[in-house]
Amino acid sequence: MAIDMEIAKWKPFRDALRKPEKDIFENMLLRSKLYASAGGMAVRPVVLEAMFMSILLDHHIRLLELVTEIEKTKHPETAKEPKGIEKWLKGNFSVEETKSPNEFLDRAPSP
């Protein structure tokens, strides 16, 4: 598979890392396989681009899950199990109040 060949190209980089970082790096690269079918549908000539997008998507999902858990901890009285994208929007924004993605972005806290 193309992803496996790309992962093999990164072996010298992996080998130069310390043990804990090696394991984390390898895990990160392997998680790119979670979205391999989406990457294949993107028809990108550079496999690494699809891998990067897969890794970014995975990280973003995991960050949003953490934000949701933090919000549940901060506000347990209002915590309920939202569905879909509401899982992540509920923490800081009321989905009912947000009409469009642009409105959501306009209301997002700045970094």
User: Residue 97 domain-assigned?
Assistant: no
User: Residue 90 domain-assigned?
Assistant: no
Please tell me whether residue 98 adopts helix, strand or coil conformation: coil
| pLDDT, tens digit (0-9, with 9 covering 90-100), for 81-101 | 655 666 555 554 443 443 444
pLDDT for 1 beyond 90: no
User: Residue 74 domain-assigned?
Assistant: yes
User: Residue 99 domain-assigned?
Assistant: no
Label residue 17 by pLDDT band (50, 70, 90): very high
**Rounded (5°) CA angle 76-69-71:** 50
Q: What pLDDT score was predicted for residue 9?
A: 93
Range of the domain at 27: 2-79
User: Residue 13 domain-assigned?
Assistant: yes
Q: What pLDDT score was predicted for residue 25?
A: 94
Number of domains composing the chain: 1
37 or 63, which is more confident: 63
User: Residue 47 domain-assigned?
Assistant: yes
User: Residue 37 domain-assigned?
Assistant: yes
Structure-token match 């790119």, residue found: 32
User: Residue 22 domain-assigned?
Assistant: yes
89 or 15, which is more confident: 15
